[in-house]
Amino acid sequence: MSGAVVSPGATGEETESSDDGSGFTDDEQQGEGELEDDEDRIILNGGLGIPIGPDGQPRPLLPPMLPAHKGRKCLVLDLDETLLHSSFKATDFVIPVEIEFAWHSVYVIKRPGVDAFLKRMGELYEVVIFTASLSKYADPVLDKLDIHKVVTHRLFRESCYNHRGVYVKDLSQLGRPIEDTIILDNSPASYIFHPNNAVPVSSWFNDPHDTELTDLCPFLDDLRTVDDVRGVLDGGR
């Protein structure tokens, strides 16, 4: 039977559906197209919005802002290759991590200027770490990294949205005004829903002469005073 494939229907009977030679039936292609349309719609809408719990109430990723941070903007910081780099070679500090039921030593090297950068950002912003890493790795790393105790909230992989195999950080789910939310990340794919909220930063691995975090401080100091960060960032600095 040319141009058609036979497949079992919902009732177990054989039904015909056309095949254009791609290897997918019309129903499969339609489902794939609808999925892509939904994904594109999320981008156009600027994210999924605040999740709704089983009780019908909004469940943002972050709790209400602390009184001490009232009037501040929210600064969302990536972790790996933005603030530090992890490997299996000796560096600044070591953390034990369980990987596939075995314990491994992970060595962490801090990006130059990160301690002063975090201290300063903690004076200006509500600081949130949002990483696509698992909490069993990122939590102990942050315990060591955040020496000034300025990180107010930590979000991990389970809070990301899997967009076509990429972990996206959906700022619309945080529960903060989007015009007051900034993300600093080395991966543009991480903020594909909110490019106008992003301050891009280069990926860092081990360059001891890097000054990017230090150089960003004056810009971020100025950015906290604008009415809408999207009007300044406009797709990245």
Query: Is 185 one of the annotated active-site residues of the chain?
Result: no
Instruction: Give me 57's structure tokens.
Output: 């109430």
CA dihedral 172, 173, 174, 180 (to 10 degrees): 10
Q: What angle do CA 189, 192, 196 make, to 5 degrees?
A: 125
Domain limits, the chain:
73-233
Indicate which residue of 78, 170, 180, 185 is catalytic.
78
Low-confidence ranges of the chain (pLDDT < 70): 1-37, 88, 90, 96, 99-101, 104, 235-237
Indicate which residue of 19, 26, 38, 80 is catalytic.
80
The confidence score (pLDDT) of residue 106 equals 82
Query: Is 78 one of the annotated active-site residues of the chain?
Result: yes
Q: What's the one-letter identity of residue 220?
A: L
- Crossing angle for the helix pair 212-223 and 114-124, nearest 10 degrees? 10
Query: Cβ-count burial of 127 within 10 angstroms (0-12 exposed, 13-18 middle, 19+ buried)?
Result: buried
Residues near 226 by beta carbon (within 8 Å), at least 6 away in sequence = 232
Dihedral sign of CA atoms 236, 223, 147, 212 in order: positive
Q: What's the one-letter identity of residue 105?
A: S
pTM of the model: 0.79
Ramachandran category for residue 180: left, alpha or beta (phi over 0 → left; psi -120 to 50 → alpha): alpha
Closest CA to 86 of 49, 21, 131: 131
Residues near 149 by beta carbon (within 8 Å), at least 6 away in sequence = 122
Residues near 187 by beta carbon (within 8 Å), at least 6 away in sequence = 78, 81, 203
Query: Which CATH number applies to 73-233: 3.40.50.720, 3.10.290.10, 3.40.50.1100, 3.40.50.1000?
Result: 3.40.50.1000
CB 74 within 8 A of CB 223: no
SS (H, E, C) 97-157: EEECCEEEEEEEEECCCHHHHHHHHHHHCEEEEECCCCHHHHHHHHHHHCCCCCEEEEECH
The confidence score (pLDDT) of residue 24 equals 45
Query: Cβ-count burial of 125 within 10 angstroms (0-12 exposed, 13-18 middle, 19+ buried)?
Result: buried
The confidence score (pLDDT) of residue 29 equals 47
The confidence score (pLDDT) of residue 80 equals 96
- How many Å is the Cα radius of gyration of the chain? 22
